[in-house]
Amino acid sequence: MAMAAWGVTRADVPRMSATMIWLPSPFIFKKGTSLNACFPADLRRHAALPPYMAELGRNCQSAAGMGEPRSGQGSRHSENFLLFLTTWLRGDLNQTESFVVRPAPVGIDWQTKNVVRVPFGVRSMNMPLLSNQIITDWQPHYPKLWGNQSLRLSHSLADSPLFTDAALAALIDRSPREAYHVNYSQKTPGNPPKRREGEIKDISGAEVLEVIRNGNIWVNLTAPAKTDPAYGDLLDSLYAEFEERVPGFKSYKRNLTILISSPNVSVKYHSDVPGQSLWQVRGTKKVYVYPAQAPFISQPALEKLILGQLRETDMPFEPWFDDFAQVYDLEAGQMLHWPLNGPHRVVNHGMLNVSFTTEHWTDDLRKHYAVNYANGVLRDKLGAKKLSQQVTGLSYMAKLGLAGAVKFSPLNPQKKKVYNVDFRVDPSAPEGVRDIEAYAFEK
């Protein structure tokens, strides 16, 4: 069948080789469309529309290797695939701002008219090497650095429709109180003073974005994957890629958090408990990463952080710490991964910034967590001073047992965090912040 029946020729499709057209990954699709809308009107008028596309419309979710569809969603996957395919072939991908990301490394074989799934890193010898990966500059020696050294990488998500104004505004509109934080801090050189906690009420997500763009706040969306499964799909794609590339790396309890920041806002010096990466999507920022050792993070401070006795942003900081920091100007399309518990702080540059963090656990990270948890209990309850952080041997096994016994008992010092809310986001107020009578909420 001549592809002219589609209104395109081989010359119109830059990703086409002799027999294969590659569909970009992350896969882009639109939710909730009808089957009739899957084909633009000019394509529906073609009497020679390939009949095998109707078969794809019925069976695409399995033919494309998407796995078992969720309950009631099989036809939606099929329709979304067709909509994406026809839109992409016509070159209208730049007009699809309502699309969202979903992983699917697939292609179409134009000789057999089949949709085929291509395993990671596998391609026919006569096909051009067209990366369908999120990380675009991975090097063979990076597995030796992963988790041991700070590593800046390039990624392909800077133009993802998941992070447009429209997508972010919709996400803000749909996020419940427990799924976001909005913060304010005075603009001061160096490590900023203590931040304030606020609320979003009676304004739209689009209005919140305008306040961020012109004010002095940042919004932290802590559970986007629960609000929109597309963000969960993205998270799974990211970690699938790293697990494929880093031998022995197997992650679980993963999370993605979106950060939307006003120009020049600074984030305090802090450390995170799980494995952590920062992905820059829009704007630029300066990131200071400090050694994950004393005096930049003391053993007692790490233990208190794990036990919930110290907020991550209340860690001790001295200005001279900067002399020992690795400093990165992180641009859109770059990400940064650093060693476990590595302290860091962020200074956003003079534009609206959009980034997201990913966090994860591995068996090895859980071992370190258990040892530091047990050490914190021993230091707090028994006044112990010199405590080993080894994750092997009899002492480790004893601490693992202690951590498990305490964590799942009434003795567990970890409690829900209490947040004191004292401002509301207000487009008419200076810096977008209006003081309100303080109240507390916990999560």
pLDDT in tens, 98-117: 333 233 334 444 344 444 43
* pLDDT classification of 290: cutoffs 50, 70, 90: very high
Residue 80 confidence (pLDDT): 42
Q: Roughly how many angstroms between the first and final C-alpha of the chain, as a whole number?
A: 59
Residues in the chain: 443
* 171: pLDDT strictly greater than 70: yes
Stronger pLDDT, 424 or 8, i.e. the higher one: 424
Check: CB of residue 213 under 8 Å from CB of residue 260: no
Rounded CA separation 32/72 (Å)? 12
* pLDDT number for residue 185: 78
Q: How much is the average pLDDT of 44-70?
A: 34
Least confidently predicted of 61-65, 128-132, 202-206, 298-302: 61-65
What is the layout of strands, in order, in the sheet containing 344-348? 266-270, 344-348, 285-289, 326-330
Give the model's pLDDT for residue 76: 38
Q: Is the pLDDT of residue 48 over 50?
A: no
Whether residue 146 contacts residue 337, with contact meaning beta carbons closer than 8 Å, is answered with yes
Q: In the prediction, which pLDDT does 98 show? A: 32
Q: Which residue has the tokens 């309950």?
A: 71
Q: Which of 303, 223, 310, 319 is nearest to 270 (CA)?
A: 310
Identify which has the larger pLDDT, 129 or 221: 221
User: Which three-class secondary structure state does DSSP give residue 156?
Assistant: coil
Report how far residue 67's alpha carbon sits from residue 63's, in angstroms, rounded to the nearest whole number: 9
Residue 223 has pLDDT above 80, yes or no: yes
- pLDDT, residue 53, reads 36
Quote the mean pLDDT of the chain. 76
Omega of the bond prior to 427 within 30 degrees of 0, cis?
Answer: no
Asked if 333 and 158 touch (Cβ cutoff 8 Å), the reply is yes
- At 209, is the pLDDT very low, low, confident or very high (cuts 50, 70, 90)? very high
| pLDDT at position 102 | 32
Q: What is the pLDDT of residue 60?
A: 34
For range 67-74, the mean pLDDT = 34
- pLDDT (mean) for 252-272: 95
The predicted structure's pLDDT at residue 189: 62
**Joined tokens for residue 226:** 């629960």
DSSP sequence for 268-308: EEE--SSEEEEEEEES-EEEEE--SSTTTS-HHHHHHHHHT
Q: By percentage, how much of the chain surpasses pLDDT 90?
A: 60
Distance, CA of 209 to chain centre = 19
The 3-state DSSP class for residue 107 equals: strand
> Which of 408 and 91 is assigned the larger pLDDT?
408
Rounded to whole angstroms, the Cα distance separating 72 from 233 reads: 18
Report the distance separating Cα 189 and Cα 11, nearest Å. 54
pLDDT score for 191: 67
**pLDDT average, residue stretch 66-92:** 39
Q: Choose the weakest-confidence range: 8-17, 207-216, 219-228.
A: 8-17
Report the alpha-carbon distance of residue 208 to residue 336 in Å, rounded.
27
**Stretch 225-249: mean pLDDT:** 94
Reading phi first (left if > 0) and then psi (alpha if -120 to 50, else beta), residue 230 is in: alpha
DSSP secondary structure letters along 138-199: --TTHHHHTTTS-EEEEBS-TT-GGGSHHHHHHHHHH--GGGEEEEE----SSS----EEEE
Q: Residue 340 carries which DSSP code?
A: T
Name the helix (H) or strand (E) containing 119: none
* pLDDT bracket for residue 73 (50, 70, 90): very low
* 414/301: higher pLDDT: 301
Q: How confident is residue 414, by pLDDT bands cut at 50, 70 and 90?
A: confident
Q: List beta partners, residue 317.
A: none
pLDDT band at 436 (very low <50, low <70, confident <90, very high): very high
Q: Which residues contact 397 (CB under 8 A, 6 or more apart)?
A: none
Is it the case that residue 190 has pLDDT exceeding 80?
no
User: Which residue is listed with tokens 């962020």?
Assistant: 346
Domains of the chain: 3-117 (no CATH), 142-407 (2.60.120.650)
The pLDDT of residue 417: 86
pLDDT at 349 over 80: yes
What value does the mean pLDDT take over residues 21-25? Answer: 35
If we measure between CA atoms, which residue out of 236, 205, 212, 155 comes closest to residue 433?
212
Distances 252 to 72, 257, 387 between C-alpha atoms, Å: 27, 16, 28
One-letter identity of residue 112: T
What count of other Cβ atoms lies within 10 Å of the Cβ of residue 2? 7
pLDDT tops 60 at residue 378: yes
